[in-house]
Each structure stands twice: as C-alpha cells, then as structure tokens.
Structure 1
Amino acid sequence: MNKGMVSFSNRHVYFYIGYAIYFSVLIFTLVYPYEQNMKAFIVRFLVLPFSFLLYFIFLKKNNGVHSFFRKFSLLIHIIAVVALFFWIFGSLLHWINASSSLVINWGTTYKIPSFFGVYFETQNMQVFGQTIVRNTAIFTEPPMFSYIIIITLLGDLFYLKAGFRDIGFLFIVILTSGSAFGTSIVVLIAAYCYVRRLLVANGYYFTRQVKQIISITGCISIVLVIFVLYNRIVNGGGSVSIHMQDFVCGYQAWINHPFIGNGLNNFQSIADHMSVIRLGSNGNSGISSGIVYVLAYGGIYWALFYILPILLDLKYNLMKKSDFVIVDIIFLLLIIFVEVYNLTLTLLLVMLIWQHLLDKDDRQLNWVHRRKSISNTEIGK
C-alpha cells in the first residue's frame, strides 16, 4: 500500500460500528429531550472523535506521531513562557500594566485585567499571608491551565523522553497557578520519576536500601500532598467548599438515574440539589468538578466513553509493566476531579488511547509504549 494512505484493520471497522451504535443510543435516550444544539453535539462527540481516530491512523502510518506531540509541546511551552513573563513582571512586580479589561461570565459576571490579550488575571491566592495573582495564562481558572500543562508534561516526560531537568520549567509553571490538584500531581510525578530512576540504577532489584528509600519517598510525597491540600482548604475555603458541594449535588442528581442519567445539559437536575445562595444573581452556579457532569447528565452509560478506554489501557500497561501506568492514573484523576469532559483536547486524548488499544498487538508499529530496555539517559536523568 502506498505511503500516506490509511489502512483499516478489522478492529478499526468494528470499533467504528460499535461507536456509531453507542452514539445513536446516546442521542435518542440522553440528548434529544434536552440538547438544544443537536448539530453541535453531533460534531463534538461523533464527527470529532471519528476524525481524530482517522488522523492518528494516518499519523502512525506515516510515522508522524512524534512530530505531532513535539509541535503540541512547543505550542504549550510558548503559552507557558508568555504567561510566566507577564505573571512575574505584571502581576507580581507591576512593572507592566494591564492593557485593557475583559468581562467574563464564569459562575458570576466580573471584569478581569488583560495583558495584550495573551495573559489575564482571573483569580487570587494566599501565600504566607500575602494575596497574589494566580497564573492562569489565557484560561479562566487555574485547574484548566494546570490540566493543559500536566498533559504536556506527561507527553514530554513519557513519550518525547525529555529528561527530568528538561521539564522542570513546567513544574514551576504549575506551582505559579496555585492549583492544589496540579501541585499534587507534580509531587506524584516527581516521586515516580525518582523511584523509577532508583530502580533503573539498581537493575530493578528491590534491595533493603531501595525499599527504605521508596518508603521514605512515598511518605514525604503523602505529607507534601496533605500539606498542599490543607493549605488550600485554609486559605481558599470558598473554592474548596464549592468543589465539595459540586460532588454532593452531582451525586444526588446521578443516583436518581444512575445508568442513563438525567439528560445531557439538564442542569436543573443538579440545580435542584444546590443551595439557594449559589443559585442567586451573584452566586456561583457553575459546576467545577468533572465526573459529576458526566454521571449526572449521562449516567454510567456516558461515563463509559471516558473511563472504559483508560481502564483498558491501564490493564494493558500493568501487564506490560510500562511507564504509561502512571499516565493512565493521572489522566483518570484529571477526568474525575477537573471539568475537562467537554474539551477538544480530552476527546483527542480519549481517541488516542482507543487507537493504541486497537493497535496494541502490532509490535512493529507500536508507537505509544517504549521498549523494555531503558538506559540511564531516559526518565529521571
């Protein structure tokens, strides 16, 4: 077959047929009564996923996946560099003034400073008793910025095989966002890389010294995560309280119809369990916790779209003892705790996982997993 042409295996054909049936049920049982913009929903959850899968098949055929990830990483690094520049010299030192302002409606309607349309001041945080601006770049809230950075960090570290020192910049950017969840993920990744490097250096033998170091690393990581979360609760109680309320309201709405949910975009099903204050004119009625949207609106049926491929890939990576186990775990945590279900990037990553699963037995063309032989120049160098 000529280079550049896309070939389909039986697995791909069966997957397309199965997903078409799955989506048809989704449309007629969950979407039709509540989704006003049917065309937009079909484009987002049928046309885009099919197109992404075709695109990844084409990239794999032409060995272009590595280039795709590198270009994506470069784009996010540029955004991060610009954001860090204006955060330091604009938000912290005030050497650069905002060029304009922008009115946004994110939970409530408010005006935010804009720095030439490439950096915005959206939220504040408390650090050692001082109020400083959180680095959110071009996004409306820190968790969303952290999500993009974490995905880039995982791609750099585990796919592009960047050294630990090479991705230190992204660690710093996540810390400046003030996202407790993002910081916790950074601690988790750093601990994993350190332990991974230790095991490689010792030929994967769990000596007594190695076990002791792993135990100490685990304890330190747990303490750091607890400290970060505790500090967030103390200094950002309002935000934490809203996140907890989101989970409670979403759960209460979900258990009414656990399998098929209450209908996509049927916000009233969640609002019925919210406090009157949040539903007021100046209240924050937005939902900020990802999995509750999926479960409350589409139940277990819609949640399978996101959760099933991750769990299948996690099982496969555990069997192969692959480094991508940590990638699956982190992506699952992002799906659960961050509102990313409706992002194009999330749909792209879900279809990327499906593409890997469909081609997992193609040993010569396997473009996701690394070889078993790992040198000292790889992760954690």
Structure 2
Amino acid sequence: MDGTWFQYALIIPMLLGILLFRGKIYVYKYFLPRLIGLSVIICLFGIVLWFLACFTALPPTSTTRLMWTSGEEIDSYFGLFYKIQPITVGGTSIWRNTSIFPEAPMAAVYYGIILSLHILVIKKKDLKSIAVLTIGLITTVSTSAYIYVCVLLFAYLSDKIGGNGLRESKLKIMVMLLTITSLVFILIQIGTNKITDSTSGMTHLDDFVQGFRIWKDAPIFGFGFESDDYIWQEYLSYYRGGLGYTSGALFLLIHGGVVALVMVIVPLLAWVVVSPSKDSTYFALFLFLILWTVVVQNCGVFILCLSLGYANYVWESKRLRSEWNAVRGNRDISSTN
C-alpha cells in the first residue's frame, strides 16, 4: 500500500481517535504547548550551531551520509545542524540553516507550521518563542520561509492592534507596516534572484506548468500514487531529469486526482465551518498556502494539523450543540413560567 494512501486512510483516523480520546483540554493546554516548546529548543540549538559553523569555523562533531539525494558525506553538528546547502548572500558564502532536516525548505515548512500553531491555535503570548522560530525561518534563506514570516507576523501584529488606545494603535500600525514592508522587500529580492539566476527557481516554475498539463489527462482519480515511473517516462523526461514536484496540491492532483485533494481540503475547511473565527480561518488558509507551494502532503506535522482539524470540528460541534440545548432549555423554562 502506498505511503500517502496509508497516511490519509489510516494515520489520520488513528491520530483523530487519539486526539478525541485525550480531549480538547489536554491537546490545547498540554500536548501542543509541549510540541511547540520542544521545537523551539531544537530550533534555538540549530540557530546557535548554524551561526558558529558559518562565522567562527566551528569544526563538525561528526559526519553522516546524505541519503536524501547523492549519498555524499556531510558535516554534522550534534545532529542539530548539517552543512548541506551553501548559498551566497551579499557576496558572502554561508550555509543555509537546515536544522535537523535534510534541506532548508523542509525546515521552513516545519517551523512555519509550528509558528502558526503558536500564534493562531494556542495563542500564547510568548515573544521569545516567536523570535526564535522567526530567526530559524529567516536563517533557512528560503523563499517559502520569508513568505511564512510575512504572513504570520502580519497575523500576529494585526491581532495586537485592536482594543487599545488610538495613539498606541497608530504606533503598532506603523511598526507592523515597517516590518511587513521590510520583509516583503527581502522576499522580492530573494524570490527574483532565485527565479532569474537559479536552476531551482526555473524548475519550480516548470513544475507548476507541467503539473497542470499532466493532471488534466487524469483529473478525477489521477495516475495512482505508484505511477512515478510512468509519469517520468511519459511527461517529465524531456524537460528535465527527475521528479521534483513543487506543489503538494499538484502532487495530490497528479497522483490521486480531485479525490485525493478533497481528502486534504475537507479537514482544512473543518477549521472554519463550525465556529469560524479570524484565527481559525487564517490558520486554514496558511496550511493551504503551504500545501500549494511545497510538497508537504506527507509531512508529519501537516498530517497532525489535518487530524486536529477534524478533532476541532467535533469539539466545536459538541460545544455549539450544548450551548443550543442550554438556550432551548432556558426558553422552555421561561415559557412555562
């Protein structure tokens, strides 16, 4: 059985059962904060080791083989940072911060989702954790990471504006605009350079174009999740050697058609259908942004968020039903009096 079908047909229901069994209070007050706290610690160590490795010539603690691609030996720093992807920024050659992951975009996706859980789901006012995760994202030197930072900081700062005095609100608005403007400028510069000067950027554009062309030949059920060899031979081999889908949504459409994509869209909608709020809507849109721009459909923390979407739907449905029953009971009492 293909891993993707296994995850969506078995793992998500199993996670949903565990979440429902432990209950909303445990998940929101204990499990998610502990997951975020552990991630922040790992991110912090990764940042420190990245800085020391790039700017102080700190020797590696060991070497390991990068089985993700070439199998070559790479330097490891306690398994919390790896020298995998060098990049030149402003004429200076540095390493991208991959943290514990085999490539920078993976680190960006993980820490981006963790930051979104922190800001939009459990809503803790912990600026230190937000700062660590933001720095971790920035040091990946990944275009997607800068998009995540812009989107999430905008959500965080906009939420802090309401409910204050006019003067304080104006100050916060100015800070937010300056922050977002700076981040957008950096994003445009990096994105433009990546697309015009790198093979990776052009490959991503090709992925979108070719992905839609492939999908339209099997739009409903796709080609199957074990059809990579066929797709490579029939569609991809003539324009580049290899499979590297840029978009998780396109990956699902190509392999499982609209049916597979719906399996992801439903739990995202579940975040906003029962009890819509600005934060839940923003969180669902953020997850869809990640799904559209990164091959994330098999990422563990993304799968967890899908299961959490279903669980949140169940919890909110019960809460609303309980409130409705209470209101109806009060009305019945009033009518009898």
TM-score surpassing 0.5?
yes
Q: Which amino acid aligns with 1:168?
A: A
Give the counterpart of 1:233 among 195, 213, 217.
195
> Structure 1 residue 136: deviation in Å?
0.4
Q: For each residue in 1:303-326, what CA deviation from the matched residue of structure 2 results, as whole angstroms up to 9, or x when unmatched?
A: 001122213434556xx4332222
Q: TM-score, normalised by structure 2?
A: 0.83
Q: Does the 8 A contact of 2:137 with 2:145 survive in 1?
A: yes
Give the unaligned 5+ runs of structure 2. 323-337
1:155 aligns with 2:111: no
Q: Percent identity between the aligned chains?
A: 22
Which residue of the partner structure matches residue 94 of structure 2?
132
Q: For each residue in 1:160-184, what CA deviation from the matched residue of structure 2 results, as whole angstroms up to 9, or x when unmatched?
A: 3332623111101100011111111
> Quick check: which one's helix share is greater?
2
Q: For each residue in 1:108-146, what CA deviation from the matched residue of structure 2 results, as whole angstroms up to 9, or x when unmatched?
A: 454322223332111122211222100001211111111
Give the counterpart of 2:19 among 50, 56, 60.
56
1:88 aligns with 2:51: yes
> Structure 1 residue 226: deviation in Å?
2.7
Q: Does the 8 A contact of 1:184 with 1:225 survive in 2?
A: yes
Question: What SS does the aligned partner of 1:126 have?
Answer: strand
Give the counterpart of 2:39 among 73, 76, 87.
76
Which residue of the partner structure matches residue 314 of structure 2?
358
Which residue of the partner structure matches residue 113 of structure 1?
75
Question: What SS does the aligned partner of 1:340 have?
Answer: coil
Q: Distance in 2 between matches of 1:158 and 1:219?
A: 18
Q: Does the 8 A contact of 1:135 with 1:142 survive in 2?
A: yes
Q: Does the 8 A contact of 2:2 with 2:226 survive in 1?
A: no
Q: Does the 8 A contact of 2:68 with 2:102 survive in 1?
A: no
**Cα distance change of structure 1 residues 171 and 113 upon mapping to structure 2, 3 Å threshold:** same
1:274 aligns with 2:236: yes
Report the number of matched residues: 317
Greater relative contact order, per chain length (Cα 8 Å cut-off, separation 6+)? 1
Q: Distance in 2 between matches of 1:341 and 1:216?
A: 33
Q: Distance in 1 between matches of 2:3 and 2:193?
A: 41
1:244 aligns with 2:244: no
Q: Does the 8 A contact of 1:262 with 1:297 survive in 2?
A: yes
Give the unaligned 5+ runs of structure 1. 1-37, 367-381
1:198 aligns with 2:154: no
Q: Distance in 2 between matches of 1:123 and 1:219?
A: 27
**Cα distance change of structure 1 residues 111 and 83 upon mapping to structure 2, 3 Å threshold:** same
Q: Does the 8 A contact of 2:274 with 2:317 survive in 1?
A: no
Q: Distance in 2 between matches of 1:250 and 1:269?
A: 14
Q: Distance in 1 between matches of 2:72 and 2:240?
A: 16
Which residue of the partner structure matches residue 323 of structure 1?
279
RMSD: 3.0
Q: Distance in 2 between matches of 1:234 and 1:76?
A: 34
Q: Does the 8 A contact of 2:4 with 2:298 survive in 1?
A: no
Q: Which amino acid aligns with 2:228?
A: F
Q: Does the 8 A contact of 2:28 with 2:122 survive in 1?
A: no
Q: Does the 8 A contact of 1:260 with 1:302 survive in 2?
A: yes
Q: Does the 8 A contact of 1:139 with 1:145 survive in 2?
A: yes
**Cα distance change of structure 1 residues 289 and 42 upon mapping to structure 2, 3 Å threshold:** closer
> Structure 1 residue 60: deviation in Å?
1.2
Q: Distance in 2 between matches of 1:39 and 1:188?
A: 34
Which residue of the partner structure matches residue 308 of structure 1?
266
